Amino acid sequence: MLCALAATLPGLVAWSLAWESACASEATLQRALRLDTARLIDRRDPATPADIVADRPNPGATPASLPIRLPARIHRDDGNASAVLWLEIDLPGREAMPPAPAIYLPRMNDGGAFYLNGAPVFSLPWSDALTRVRWRRARWFVLPDEHVAAHANRLTMKIVNRDFLVDVPYLLLGERDEMERAAEDRQWLDQYGSQFTGFTAAIVGAFMLAIWWARRREPHYLLFGLSSLLWAVRTLNYSVETMPTELWWWWRGFHFLTVALATMTLAAFFHLFAGLSFRRWVWPMGLHAALGPVLVVASDVTAEVQHEEQRERHREEMEKAARLAALGELIGGVAHELNNPLTAILGFAELMEKASPGEDFEEEVEIIRKEALRARDIVRDLLFIARPGQVERGEVQIEAVVGHVERLRRPAWSQLGIEVSIDTAGMGSPIYGNEHQLTQVLLNLVTNAENAVKDNPRPRIAVRARTRGESAIIEVEDNGHGMDAATRDRIFEPFFTTRQGDGTGLGLSLSYSMVAAHDGQIEVQSTPGAGTIFRVVLPLRAEAPSPPEPASPAPAPAHARALVVDDEPSLRVLSQRLIGSMGHECAVAPDSATATALAQEQGFDLVICDYRLATETAGAVIAGFQQVAPGLVERTVIATGATTDPGVVELVERHNLRLIAKPYGIDEIAALLAEAAARR
């Protein structure tokens, strides 16, 4: 035992010196201004990812500022969900502050940030999806002179908590050198105190085990030595300040298991050495030591699983909100862009109505046709973004993807005065991928560039696409404000945004995932004040399946019979005239009842059915055909403007139907009639 005490003597001397230094610092701390009154101005519990990364509070979130006396302890209901608390502390003016003012922060269990008059001055990492913070040592930070006001100052404290308790410490305002020295002394005690205690227990435990090994007849030495070693491990655990989240629950279970074993061995030692009753003392202590940690860990794991489910649902909601937000940004420009061709169509139609009989309208008809196709492309582009289709892959022309985005954003570029250059001449061959996802990626990059150049008096954006070796390269370059290294490192993190209150922080994260799904990568080059280049690198797939060769349609008979089901009277009239002009017969129906009656009375080679009728869908028409003319189901073609609608996709897949996108023209109808005639 004397040897064990001698081994701990250097540690005791070092500890006493550190304690003396810390006690000497207490006098310095007593002279500092104690900041022990604060106002709670915003509390987000539970907090969304946007709340966690926000750099300013939302005073409207709390009905009134609540005064708090520091130090304070705030209780929470769900310790596995993150919470954000914003507090304000009043500071004196420059004249009343000490020279080189600094803040002393006692040990704080949570992370967060400090803002002096709205400017960030200090931050601590917090527990999140990747890291868990267990405890903190004393800290200090300087109040920059350029942010200190002459008469009054406001220190805003943001606390990010992921526990059932929020411990808000008091703060001290003093001179920089004194605060630094006091914090270092307190850090030494906090950091090395648990380590010194743990090492001391380990030395004593090892010494006891050595005695037991030498004698082999006295088991109480074995039990006391094991208990000391286990308590040493438990104590040394507290010197770990942060750890990865994936190790958190393993560490927590190991910690409680260590405590249980240490308690049980100590209870057995008391039973053997002190003669305590096994039934009255040892068994209850062992049972409590074993069951307590199991119940705590089980409850923690259950709560964590529930929190993960909530976070996944919240992420899905945020992704939907991001898509709707992007759609909302497009609506104004698309409405303007759509009105242009509609104005031309309406104007030329009225001119033709008022023209003299026999006048040639070949030019006017061609203009109307082109403007109608232009309006169709605009609507399809909008639907393409608003409602994603299935993640199917095929040949994708990058030029078409760039064209989609250009048509969608051109009005906004004109309104914002952005000079945009597009160069796709270097694209030599198509790639193999999903057109919707690649369009969404490019749209996200372009809208980010638009926001980056808003403050530039001569905003410019360049979109380039080219082939290099076995890869396709898409670049979006802007002359905006650029990014520093810290922002570049986090730019693809979910919910990270530099536009607080104007953006979800999901655009680049989703783009990164979509590009990775194509076995590609996104690179970013940026320098503050020199603009940014986002580069998407996608592999060219030589093994992409080649499209099947179209079958040569058989010649159409002298006449074929078609049924068109549509609730729009004008489209029924158009269909009759269009099909009749090609020498075929056409019957029309406004609803499923009429279509079913016609199918029962007549035979048809082709049925073109609008998916969304006035009070029903094409599913009702198919159900009627199954009752009176089952063979007609396979001859039915669904016509709709929303080809990716989940109801449309489900109906088409269930009955193996053909699908045609509205608006359709004479060529599409002629091809369908030819195919139907070939099946007669």
User: Which pLDDT value is given to residue 310?
Assistant: 57
Residue 513 or 279, more confident: 513
Are the beta carbons of 521 and 537 closer than 8 angstroms? yes
Are the beta carbons of 179 and 125 closer than 8 angstroms? no
Are the beta carbons of 378 and 407 closer than 8 angstroms? yes
Question: Are 612 and 476 members of one domain?
Answer: no
Are the beta carbons of 396 and 433 closer than 8 angstroms? yes
Averaged pLDDT, 267-273: 69
What angle, 0 to 180 degrees and rounded to 10, lies between the N-to-C axes of helices 245-269 and 283-354? Answer: 170
Question: Are 535 and 565 members of one domain?
Answer: no
Q: How many domains are there within the chain?
A: 3
Taking only the tens place, the pLDDT of each residue in 356-372 is 777 777 877 887 877 78
At residue 103 the predicted structure's pLDDT band, cuts being 50, 70 and 90, is very high
Say whether pLDDT at 512 is over 90: no
Averaged pLDDT, 65-88: 84
User: Which pLDDT value is given to residue 114?
Assistant: 92
User: Which pLDDT value is given to residue 22?
Assistant: 46
User: Which pLDDT value is given to residue 102?
Assistant: 92
User: Which pLDDT value is given to residue 7?
Assistant: 45
Supply the DSSP symbol for 171: E
Judged by DSSP in three states, 296 sits in helix
Question: Are 428 and 573 members of one domain?
Answer: no
C-alpha span between 208 and 201 (Å, rounded)? 11
Question: Are 8 and 93 members of one domain?
Answer: yes
Taking only the tens place, the pLDDT of each residue in 1-18 is 444 444 445 545 544 544
Residue 129 or 319, more confident: 319
User: Which pLDDT value is given to residue 387?
Assistant: 54
* Final residue belonging to a domain, choices 123, 152, 187: 187
In a domain, 53, yes or no: yes
Averaged pLDDT, 47-58: 80
- Could you tell me the residue range of the domain that residue 570 belongs to? 561-678
Q: Model-level pTM?
A: 0.40
Residue 197 or 422, more confident: 422
Are the beta carbons of 125 and 111 closer than 8 angstroms? yes
Question: Are 516 and 596 members of one domain?
Answer: no
User: Which pLDDT value is given to residue 19?
Assistant: 46
Are the beta carbons of 228 and 263 closer than 8 angstroms? no
User: Which pLDDT value is given to residue 233?
Assistant: 80
User: Which pLDDT value is given to residue 546?
Assistant: 52
Question: Are 66 and 107 members of one domain?
Answer: yes
For β-strands 561-565 and 585-589, DSSP reports them as parallel
User: Which pLDDT value is given to residue 53?
Assistant: 77
Question: Are 81 and 126 members of one domain?
Answer: yes
In a domain, 202, yes or no: no
Supply the DSSP symbol for 118: T
Question: Are 618 and 505 members of one domain?
Answer: no
In a domain, 242, yes or no: no
Task: Give me the chain's average pLDDT, please.
Answer: 76
* Final residue belonging to a domain, choices 187, 216, 239: 187
Averaged pLDDT, 113-129: 79
C-alpha span between 246 and 409 (Å, rounded)? 43
Question: Are 526 and 575 members of one domain?
Answer: no
Element of type H or E holding 678: helix 666-678
At residue 441 the predicted structure's pLDDT band, cuts being 50, 70 and 90, is confident
Residue 223 or 588, more confident: 588
CATH number assigned to the domain comprising residue 90: 2.60.120.260
Q: Which residue pairs from 640-644 have beta carbons closer than 8 angstroms and sit at least 24 positions apart in sequence?
A: 640/610, 640/611, 640/612, 641/379, 641/380, 641/383, 642/383, 642/387, 642/611, 642/612, 643/383, 643/389, 644/383, 644/384, 644/387, 644/388, 644/389, 644/390
List, in sequence order, every beta strand (DSSP E) within 308-415. 394-396
Element of type H or E holding 67: strand 66-69
In a domain, 83, yes or no: yes
CATH number assigned to the domain comprising residue 632: 3.40.50.2300
Say whether pLDDT at 486 is over 80: no
C-alpha span between 374 and 357 (Å, rounded)? 29
Judged by DSSP in three states, 33 sits in strand
Least confident range from 135-139, 145-149, 672-676: namely: 135-139
Task: Give 3-state DSSP helix, strand, coil % of the chain, rounded to 5.
Answer: 50, 20, 25
Q: Which residues contact 148 (CB under 8 A, 6 or more apart)?
A: 94, 97, 101, 116, 117
At residue 134 the predicted structure's pLDDT band, cuts being 50, 70 and 90, is low
Taking only the tens place, the pLDDT of each residue in 611-662 is 989 889 999 999 999 999 998 999 999 998 777 777 888 899 899 998 888 8
Say whether pLDDT at 608 is over 90: yes
Output the CA–CA distances (angstroms, integers) from residue 232 to 102, 255, 587, in the order listed. 37, 11, 89
Are the beta carbons of 487 and 528 closer than 8 angstroms? no
In a domain, 259, yes or no: no
Averaged pLDDT, 120-136: 63
Q: Which residues contact 660 (CB under 8 A, 6 or more apart)?
A: 608, 637, 638, 639, 668, 672
Say whether pLDDT at 417 is over 80: yes
Question: Are 586 and 507 members of one domain?
Answer: no
Question: Are 24 and 60 members of one domain?
Answer: yes
Least confident range from 87-96, 171-180, 221-230: namely: 221-230
Q: Count other C-beta atoms under 10 Å from residue 592's C-beta.
A: 22
- Spatial CA neighbour of 107 closest among 81, 84, 133, 83: 133
Averaged pLDDT, 112-135: 72
C-alpha span between 497 and 503 (Å, rounded)? 7
Are the beta carbons of 450 and 418 closer than 8 angstroms? yes
In a domain, 9, yes or no: yes
In a domain, 523, yes or no: yes
Question: Are 182 and 40 members of one domain?
Answer: yes
User: Which pLDDT value is given to residue 414?
Assistant: 85
Taking only the tens place, the pLDDT of each residue in 466-480 is 988 888 999 999 998
In a domain, 309, yes or no: no
Are the beta carbons of 168 and 76 closer than 8 angstroms? no
At residue 316 the predicted structure's pLDDT band, cuts being 50, 70 and 90, is low
What are the b/e assignments for 502-512, b being 16+ CB within 10 Å?
ebbbbbbbbbb
Are the beta carbons of 409 and 402 closer than 8 angstroms? no
User: Which pLDDT value is given to residue 475?
Assistant: 93
* Final residue belonging to a domain, choices 509, 539, 569: 539
- Spatial CA neighbour of 135 closest among 144, 127, 143: 127
